[in-house]
Structures are given as C-alpha cells and as structure tokens.
Amino acid sequence: MTVELISVGTEILLGNIVNTNAAFLSRECAALGLSMYTQTVVGDNDERLARVYREAINRSDIVILGGGLGPTEDDLTKETVCNVLGLELTEDKKALDNMEKILTGLGYKPTDNNYKQALVPAGCNVLYNSNGTAPGIIIEKDGHYTILLPGPPTELIPMFNEQVKPYLAGLSNEVLYSVTIKECGIGESMLETKLLDLIDAQTNPTIATYAKMGCCEVRVTARAENEEAARELLKPTVKDIKNRLGDAVYTLDDNVNLEDAVIKLLKKYDLKISVAESCTGGLVAAKLVNVSGASQVFTHGFITYSNKAKRKVLDVNRDTLKKYSAVSKEVAKEMAKGCLVTADSDVAVAVTGYAGPEDTKDEPKGLVYIACAVKDKVIVQKYNFNGSRAKIRESAAIKALDMVRTSVIASYK
C-alpha cells in the first residue's frame, strides 16, 4: 500500500520550526511496509490544502495529515478534509470532556474556539488525545484512508505509536526491515564504487548510501511478510558489504555513533585514553565524555591552544614550534607523545590546525594535523578540511576519533 504525508503549517514553510514529525512518520511507515513516494508541506490556507489533499487521495491509499487541528482560525485541516470528502462535523462528547478537563486542570477556562476541537467528521474513528486537547481522526471512505494527527510532536508521536501504528499494521501484509551499516574512513564516492555491482543488481533487499559528517552509512532494506523473514533476506547482503568495507565499519546499530564505538573498543582492551587539542578546543574530549561510561577509559583532556601551553603542558620542543610552526606534523606528533606521558595513558590523540575564518600567509584555512599514539607507535595524518570554522572543527574531531579507533584495531587485532 502507498502512503502520503501532508505536513500542515505556515511555520514549517517559513522555517520557524523543523519538521521532525515528517522524519518520524517516514521511518514508522517504512517499517510497516508502506511505500511513501510523496511528501508535501502546505501552509495554513484552505484552498491550497484542499488542492494538495485531493491530489494525495487520487494517488495514494493512505494520506496522513499532521497539524492544523488546533483551536484558532488558521487551524483548517479538519474542516478542509471534510469539505473535500463531503462530510459533516459533529460533536464528540468524550473529546469535549477531555478538552475541558485538560484546560481546567491547567487553570484555564475554555474559550469558544476551544470547542471546535471537539468536532469530528461523522462516522470517523476518533483517536483520543491523552497529551493534548485535539483528538486525532481516521476516516475510511471509498477505499482510501485519511489520518489526521495533531501537530505537536509530544502529541503526534504517542498517538501514532499507541493508536495509529496498530491500525496501519492491520492494513499491510508486509513489513520493511532495515540494517544501517555505519563506516568511517571511506568517502562517499569510493563507498559507492566498492558496492556498485550490488547497487546495480539490487531488487530485494535494496541498498542506499548516505553521506554524513565525516562518515557514511549504507542502509540495507528488505521487504517480507514478517520481520523474521526480512532479517533472513538481509543477512547475505549485509555480510557481503561488511566484508568489502572491512575495519571501516564501526557499527550496525542505529543508536550507536562513532564516539560510542570508540569507548566500547577502549573498554574491550582495557585501555585509557587522553586527548590534546588545539584548534578543536575540547571538542574531541566533549564527544568522548558525552558517552555513558566514558569515565572508565578517559583520563585527561588538555586544551593547549597557545604555543606556551603546548610547551608547558605537553613538553613540545620550543625549536620544533619555531622551525615547523604550531600547525605541523612534527608538532602534532610531539603533542601526542607528550599527552601520553603527562596523562600516563595507553592511547593519546592530538589535534592541531587552523580553522579560519580566513587563510593566513602561512596556513590555509582547514589545514589540520592529527596524531595518535598507541603503545610506542605514533601516526600522523594531514587533512585539508573545507567549510565554516565550526564545520572544520567538527570534521577534525570526527577524524581524530576514527584515528583512535583504527589505531587501536591495528595495534590489538
């Protein structure tokens, strides 16, 4: 079955709020085996909404509308849908009682416009809202299904999970199940090249690559009659992709990011890590300590922004700084070695570079050196990142974490 999403709200069109509801509903519908080919955002205008909705019901089996169920004049979704379908609005006693109970509980007296939220299309299935005053609505008409949901995510998400999801599951005889293979160290173009024969031959499961900040993801999706069957369909393809990408793969878990993987790896080998940062200004350390349990492996974070700090804290040689400058592979290497000794850790990573905002005479914007010391071995990598100052710092922090990951793997494999 096909499903279409219409997000209602001028505030979304103007960029005043981020449309997180669309991302949530897309994922949930895909997991239910529903095919979503079209999404639309439309402002609070009844004529434009009516036109969009007519187009949607003509090409999709299910149409989900989010937003526009509030009490004000510009909340038009319910009224517009009823006009298009030729349905009357009638008062629902339970929705009315719910609205009055919530508002009086908050110390408010319901105003006249609040009562329109208790009006629902005749013959519809009412989705009572335990988190707000606007009920949701399911309309079955002429072989099509229309679902109206309140706009606030704190209302839409629980209403969907508790009431809409079971309903939709009963309409579909298939499910989609996906595995996300996260990798770092292989660029998007090279990643596609490595997988191109699989991508060209894909049927079921399907393969899609996505570029993220500093890393990439491969999403493998199978369609089957149930989740267990879909998982079995995925296994050979996922195994093949993992073999092709090797150690670049750091997780198959959607909920795990790069720093999670690094902390897990350090725990596995009972290693302590310290960090020395210049241009990233503590960003690498912040990513590490954001992971629960990081205290078991993270010992020190040094922000040595000035040359004096590099000398005093990390014992970087004055002559090295003078001869090569603070942004150099030589200084990065000495920073990592000094960090290892000062913190008495097993692993140390150091970052020095120039994040801009403009090129200087001696240092182009985005020039970064990252060094990682594990045991008695130190490796240094040179990078030329682009983008804003913030993006350069973020890119450098991600590469630093991945260098830790790959260095530990190489040393303890």
Name the β-bridge partners of 297.
none
Confidence of residue 106 (pLDDT cuts 50, 70, 90): confident
Pairing of the two strands 144-149 and 125-127: unpaired
Confidence of residue 187 (pLDDT cuts 50, 70, 90): confident
pTM: 0.77
Instruction: Quick: pLDDT tens for 134-169.
Output: 999 999 999 999 999 999 999 999 999 999 999 998
- Residues 10-26 have a mean pLDDT of 95
Q: How many residues appear in the chain?
A: 413
Percent of the chain's residues with pLDDT above 70: 100
Backbone angles phi, psi at 180, to 5 degrees: -105, 120
CATH 2.40.50.140 fits 258-412, yes or no: no
Sequence ranges of the chain with CATH classification 3.40.980.10? 2-169
* H/E element, 217: strand 215-224
Residue 303 scores a pLDDT above 80: yes
d(CA 34, CA 154): 24
Sequence ranges of the chain with CATH classification 3.90.950.20? 258-412
- Residues 280-284 have a mean pLDDT of 97
Question: What angle, rounded to 10 degrees, do the helices at 258-268 and 389-412 form?
Answer: 30
Distance, first Cα to last Cα, the chain: 47
CATH assignment of 2-169, among 3.40.980.10, 3.50.50.60, 3.40.190.10, 3.40.470.10: 3.40.980.10
Confidence of residue 278 (pLDDT cuts 50, 70, 90): very high
33 or 351, which is more confident? Answer: 351
Instruction: Quick: pLDDT tens for 363-406.
Output: 789 999 999 999 889 999 999 999 999 999 999 999 999 999 99
Report, at the CATH architecture level, how domain 177-251 is classified.
Answer: 2-Layer Sandwich (3.30)
Q: What is the pLDDT of residue 199?
A: 92
